[in-house]
A and B are shown apart, each in its own frame.
Chain A
């Protein structure tokens, strides 16, 4: 990697990493809340609302209930949060400085994207609340449902580009040969991965883990104050990072001004799906991902292997 240590720290803390991702992610949450409000004929919150929510939670009392594993209870939210910061840094640096990429960084990104879900599962289990345990178990089942499909869908462009196992390489390949979405195989994979990021974000058809009408707040039930703020911030940052991963892999890379438009398109699609669907049960979610979605994504990867 050609960048030096002070720049690394700058990349991780300020620009593509923590501050930038948090700001844009929270702003995206506001877009989500505002568009949802307009769909329901409401006015909706002002633009600074998600920022105020986070500041308020940071200023509140942080309760650790008796009977919880104190260290784990407070560390698990941070694990997921750090993972999202690192994913965002890797994504932007490889998009803007393709020479900084390394072979297999797409695998690193996919592994790091497991960690927010694992943080939720472990934190919910550590909180010692029955609702938290149910939420954690649901999150685990949902994760088992979507991860395989997501992996196959993200690896379709890798196969289609002839085995380019790096994000910088994929962006360079698309700069030379046009968007991955030009291939039939990648259109199939893109549709499947859009469904998967809805589940990864825990938004409405798949908000099974956090189902507030059934199990209070799922894994977050016992969390308060700063720990809850870290969870909320992680969710908000994922809302920004996951569409950017799709743009990098399928839509020509996140380096041109068009990225903003592509990101808004994916965001509005996510919000519309969120507002027009009911919550499904966890068994329905597993069946949905393991039968139609898995078949579609396997078709996609076979099409990519034969060169379509």
Chain B
């Protein structure tokens, strides 16, 4: 493991992107960033710009409006960049599967590194998923 990978594992900055979710997973992501769970222990920070991001937390099934934007944000992010699909909808479209406005799950648009199922996943599940994604590097 090179020093670049080690540093990436120790300091992943996350960018949060909603591609049509019902806001439930977003609330759980914000929960995971509160002092109770304190993700800064692992060096995880929430950043506002995809240019700074090392991981994209994508929530929600990808709607037709969101699909080009999701691709755009992924292209804007500086590589190496992990993609983490948070919630059942992001993993498999969930209850929105087959709707007229849905393009498909996140992995149909951009490559996904890890899937965190749940409707919504608990903050513990999100933290565990992010740590597994980092350890898989």
A residues in contact (CB < 8 Å) with B: 33, 37, 40-46, 48-49, 52-53, 55-56, 59-63, 212, 216-217, 220-225, 228
The interface size of chain B toward A, counting residues with CB under 8 Å, comes to 21
Known contacts A42-B35, A56-B11; A63/B40 CB under 8 A? no
B43 cross-chain contacts in A, Cβ below 8 A: 45-46, 49, 52-53
A-B pairs with beta carbons under 8 Å apart, 19 shown: A37-B40, A42-B35, A49-B10, A52-B7, A52-B10, A52-B11, A53-B11, A53-B43, A55-B3, A59-B8, A60-B80, A61-B80, A63-B78, A212-B48, A217-B47, A220-B52, A221-B49, A222-B51, A224-B78
Contact of A59 among B3, B48, B52 (CB under 8 A): B3
A55 cross-chain contacts in B, Cβ below 8 A: 3-4, 7
Check A217 against B11 for contact (C-beta < 8 Å). Answer: no
Q: Which interface residue of B4, B7, B35, B79 has the most chain A CB atoms within 10 A? A: B7
Roughly how many angstroms separate A243 CA and B21 CA in the complex, as a whole number? 47
Roughly how many angstroms separate A224 CA and B80 CA in the complex, as a whole number? 12
The residue of chain A having its C-beta at the shortest distance from the C-beta of B2 within the complex is A59
Indicate if B28 sits at the interface (CB-CB under 8 A): no
Known contacts A49-B43, A60-B80; A224/B51 CB under 8 A? yes
B10 cross-chain contacts in A, Cβ below 8 A: 48-49, 52, 56
Contact of A216 among B8, B38, B49 (CB under 8 A): B49
A221 cross-chain contacts in B, Cβ below 8 A: 48-49, 51
Indicate if B72 sits at the interface (CB-CB under 8 A): no
B residues in contact (CB < 8 Å) with A: 3-4, 7-8, 10-11, 35, 38, 40-41, 43, 47-49, 51-52, 54, 76, 78-80
B51 cross-chain contacts in A, Cβ below 8 A: 63, 221-224, 228
Known contacts A55-B3, A63-B78; A217/B49 CB under 8 A? yes
Check A61 against B78 for contact (C-beta < 8 Å). Answer: yes
Roughly how many angstroms separate A228 CA and B48 CA in the complex, as a whole number? 14
The residue of chain B having its C-beta at the shortest distance from the C-beta of A62 within the complex is B78
